[in-house]
Amino acid sequence: MEKYWIDSHAHIAYGELFESWDEIVANARDLNVQLINIICGSLEEMKQALSKIEGNPQFHISLGVHPTELDNYKDVKTFESFLTHPQVVCVGEIGIDMYWDQTQLQKQIEILVAQINLANQYQLPIAVHVRNEKDGSTAIDTVIDVLKKHPVDNKGVIHCYSDTVENAKILLDMGYYLGFGGITTFKNGGNVRDVLDIIPLDRILTETDSPYLAPMPKRGKRNEPAYVSYTGEYIANHLNMSVEELQEQVMKNYKTMYKKI
Ligand SMILES: [Zn+2]
């Protein structure tokens, strides 16, 4: 079986990354990144993504209203009409973000729950965004509470997980996968590496969150899907696995979680 890296979370359907599409796709190919899950949070992104990837099995799409872009929820009916598209494999990213604006919590919860219901209706997993306050940690508590009260049939992934081991255990017990991104490789990413030390291998996903959070040795630069290979190599090394073993494991995990593929 051919082995390759998977970027399970990339925002490449807008802005600079979309404008340099051919280049970033070639770069990904050069570093053996052969499956990319594109996160779309607006109809424009969705249309732009489809214009490039329709029918190409190396790309999937996650579609959902991000908690910092709640205005896009006005298009939810159209979003819903895309959920049966064969390449749309996930509702996301959705979640709670208390970093920028703490006044929207109730509305964020409401829209998160509505999108969980959509995921269940279409039997899709979810990709969850969590960002705590600058000086606190209640967004993760809210997410855990909502996911407990509103169970998702096909579970999903907490993307770019960067919280505590304790909360990771709760989410793993609930059946969730955790996405590991660039922070895993940062000097100050010790808490994420602690999570790597306790996570069952069959719950690990790899991701970039491009264009944000580029891993070492590209930290500070614009991130792109090719760089998931650096994070992957770092994780394999940390877990004393070969690159091929980790690639195979993540491929298996990805296919198990995204049941539609
Ligand atoms: Zn994201």
Question: Which residues span the domain enclosing 123?
Answer: 5-257
238 is in an annotated binding site: no
**What pLDDT sits at residue 12?**
98
In the reported structure, the alpha carbon of residue 70 is separated from the centroid of ligand 1 by a whole-number distance in angstroms of 15
Task: Read off the tokens for 187.
Answer: 């000097």
CATH, residue 162: 3.20.20.140
In the reported structure, the alpha carbon of residue 138 is separated from the centroid of ligand 1 by a whole-number distance in angstroms of 19
Mean pLDDT, range 52-56, rounded to an integer:
97
151-201 per-position pLDDT tens digit: 999 999 999 999 999 999 999 999 999 999 999 999 999 999 999 999 999
**What pLDDT sits at residue 35?**
98
94: confidence class by pLDDT, cuts 50, 70, 90? very high
Long-range contacts of 63-66 (CB under 8 A, 24+ apart): 63/88, 63/90, 63/91, 63/92, 64/40, 64/90, 64/91, 64/92, 64/93, 64/94, 64/115, 64/126, 64/127, 65/41, 65/94, 65/111, 65/115, 66/41, 66/93, 66/94, 66/95, 66/97, 66/129
pLDDT of 136 above 80: no
85 is in an annotated binding site: no
129 is in an annotated binding site: yes
In the reported structure, the alpha carbon of residue 134 is separated from the centroid of ligand 1 by a whole-number distance in angstroms of 18
Tell me if the pTM is above 0.85: yes
Name residue 33's amino acid.
V
pLDDT of 54 above 80: yes
Task: Read off the tokens for 37.
Answer: 């899950």
In the reported structure, the alpha carbon of residue 10 is separated from the centroid of ligand 1 by a whole-number distance in angstroms of 7
**What pLDDT sits at residue 93?**
97
Mean pLDDT, range 232-259, rounded to an integer:
97
Number of domains composing the chain: 1
In the reported structure, the alpha carbon of residue 100 is separated from the centroid of ligand 1 by a whole-number distance in angstroms of 15
In the reported structure, the alpha carbon of residue 211 is separated from the centroid of ligand 1 by a whole-number distance in angstroms of 9
In the reported structure, the alpha carbon of residue 174 is separated from the centroid of ligand 1 by a whole-number distance in angstroms of 22
Query: Percent of the chain having pLDDT more than 90?
Result: 95
